Amino acid sequence: MNIDDLVSRHRGMLEDSPLNQVAEWKAKHPGSKIVGCYPVYTPVELIHAAGILPVGILGGGNRLEIAHADSRFQSFVCSIVKSTLELGLTGSLDSLDGIVFHSICDPARNLASVFKRNFPRLQVDYIHFPQNMTSPHTENYLAAEYQKLRSSYEQLAGRHVTDDDLRNSICLYNEQRKLIRDLYRTRRETPQNLSTLETYVLTRIGTLIPPEEHIQVLRESTAALRHRDEKPKDRIKVVLEGSFCEQPPLELIESLEAAGCYILDDDFLLGWRWFEQDIPLDGEPIHNLARAYLHQSVYSGVKHDTRQPKAKHLIDKVRETGASAVVILAAKFCEPALFDYALYRRALEKEGIPHLYLEFEEKMWLFDKARTEVETFVESMLFD
């Protein structure tokens, strides 16, 4: 299959109702269990090692009408919190046996409690990620959090999870993440041959299907990409930042590119590509997962790490990719993204790197305004 066919097949699945995929998978695998993972990062290996399928619960997209959840939250809460509750209230999460939230922000924290109260059938787990990355106790603390999760999934699956089970799952997800990194590298080096939308579709489909299947999709895509050899267009090269949790609509990603940008790097679906190197397999797997979070994970607006300023990471990313500008694409009412923007803006101005700030909502339908803003920004750079 060529890359166009691969992407359009999977784009169709995402545009339909992504969670239908998950329900269909469950119907074909009677007795199986599924756990939903709210963004940003979940140690999916702990779920997979128990024989449970971890899937991404990444909001409702722009085809879901919010009819019930709006009245249960304040108006100044981001869309993904409301759409996730709406999915639950309208039965779209019925195929899940559990769901896991994390300490990323107050709305996500509250959503975990709302889920516990409203959906007693679901096993709701919660991870308190460390706020202090430098304490000598942090690794043991996080390993204990992960051990709690492992016991929880052992109970849900009704089976014991051995260290070897966990190592096998780490090995599998290492392979998946490596192939995603390869895809990102191809896009960064030859953006004319792989668009951001294509990269996104091929990555996001992996949040809905077993990792073994996703690895096959990624291998097929890598092979198909070898036959693509497009001429570069006259576009500016940018890094996109700010969409680490709520995801923008596919059409918005498409519009940004069509407006004249090659996006060399982004932070979409960040939790599914959380590690820059493989997680080691030797030693105690729970501690390896905890150490990887502390020392090998990417920066993000929801990871509290004072060892290096986030703005420095962004500037480094711009320099390393060879981008000439930054597009900040932040979800409306996302406090972590807005707090980061204040830091990013100061650092970008100091370094003389142009940037454009845009806000989005996952339920948005009209993209002309965003496209015009990007076109104006691109023109100001191309003809300056």
Residue that is written with structure tokens 């706020």 in the block? 131
The nearer residue to ligand SF4, 100 or 337, going by C-beta atoms, is 337
Strand-strand pairing, 261-265 and 236-241: parallel
Q: Using the rule CB under 6 A, which residue among 94, 139, 335, 375 binds ligand SF4?
A: 335
- 133 forms part of the interface with ligand SF4 (CB under 6 A): no
The least CB distance from residue 81 to ligand SF4, in Å, is 5
Which tokens go with 87? Answer: 């999915």
Cα distances (angstroms) measured from residue 328 to each of 150, 333, 343: 36, 14, 12
- 64 forms part of the interface with ligand SF4 (CB under 6 A): no
Rounded to an integer, what distance in angstroms lies between the CA atom of residue 63 and that of residue 366?
Answer: 13
- 60 forms part of the interface with ligand SF4 (CB under 6 A): no
- 100 forms part of the interface with ligand SF4 (CB under 6 A): no
2-19 per-residue burial string, b: 16 or more CB within 10 A, e: under 16 = ebeebbeebbebbeebbb
* Residues 299, 245, 243, 221, CA torsion sign: positive
> How deeply is 35 buried, as exposed, middle or buried, from its count of CB atoms within 10 A (0-12, 13-18, 19+)?
buried
The nearer residue to ligand SF4, 47 or 108, going by C-beta atoms, is 108
- 87 forms part of the interface with ligand SF4 (CB under 6 A): no
Q: Are 192 and 231 in contact (CB under 8 A)?
A: yes
The nearer residue to ligand SF4, 105 or 172, going by C-beta atoms, is 105
Which residues within the stretch 192-231 sit at the binding site for ligand SF4 (CB under 6 A)? none
Q: Using the rule CB under 6 A, which residue among 336, 361, 362, 374 binds ligand SF4?
A: 336
Q: Using the rule CB under 6 A, which residue among 331, 348, 356, 378 binds ligand SF4?
A: 331
- 46 forms part of the interface with ligand SF4 (CB under 6 A): no
The least CB distance from residue 304 to ligand SF4, in Å, is 13
The nearer residue to ligand SF4, 325 or 329, going by C-beta atoms, is 329
- 107 forms part of the interface with ligand SF4 (CB under 6 A): yes
Rounded to an integer, what distance in angstroms lies between the CA atom of residue 37 and that of residue 208?
Answer: 10
Q: Are 228 and 3 in contact (CB under 8 A)?
A: yes
The least CB distance from residue 362 to ligand SF4, in Å, is 9
The nearer residue to ligand SF4, 100 or 245, going by C-beta atoms, is 245
# residues near ligand SF4 by CB under 6 A = 15
Q: Using the rule CB under 6 A, which residue among 50, 69, 108, 353 binds ligand SF4?
A: 108
Rounded to an integer, what distance in angstroms lies between the CA atom of residue 19 and that of residue 93?
Answer: 8
- 112 forms part of the interface with ligand SF4 (CB under 6 A): no
The nearer residue to ligand SF4, 242 or 285, going by C-beta atoms, is 242
Q: Alpha helix (H) ranges present in the chain? A: 3-15, 18-28, 44-48, 79-89, 106-118, 138-157, 163-189, 196-204, 211-225, 250-258, 285-295, 310-321, 335-351, 368-382
Span interacting with ligand SF4, options 105-113, 179-187, 219-227, 306-314, rule CB under 6 A = 105-113
Rounded to an integer, what distance in angstroms lies between the CA atom of residue 203 and that of residue 235?
Answer: 24
- 302 forms part of the interface with ligand SF4 (CB under 6 A): yes
- 271 forms part of the interface with ligand SF4 (CB under 6 A): no
Q: Are 276 and 253 in contact (CB under 8 A)?
A: no
The nearer residue to ligand SF4, 166 or 269, going by C-beta atoms, is 269
Q: Using the rule CB under 6 A, which residue among 97, 198, 246, 251 binds ligand SF4?
A: 246
Rounded to an integer, what distance in angstroms lies between the CA atom of residue 167 and that of residue 280?
Answer: 9
- DSSP tag of 302: T
The nearer residue to ligand SF4, 186 or 243, going by C-beta atoms, is 243
Which residues of this chain interact with ligand SF4, rule CB under 6 A?
78, 80-81, 104-105, 107-108, 245-246, 302, 331, 334-337
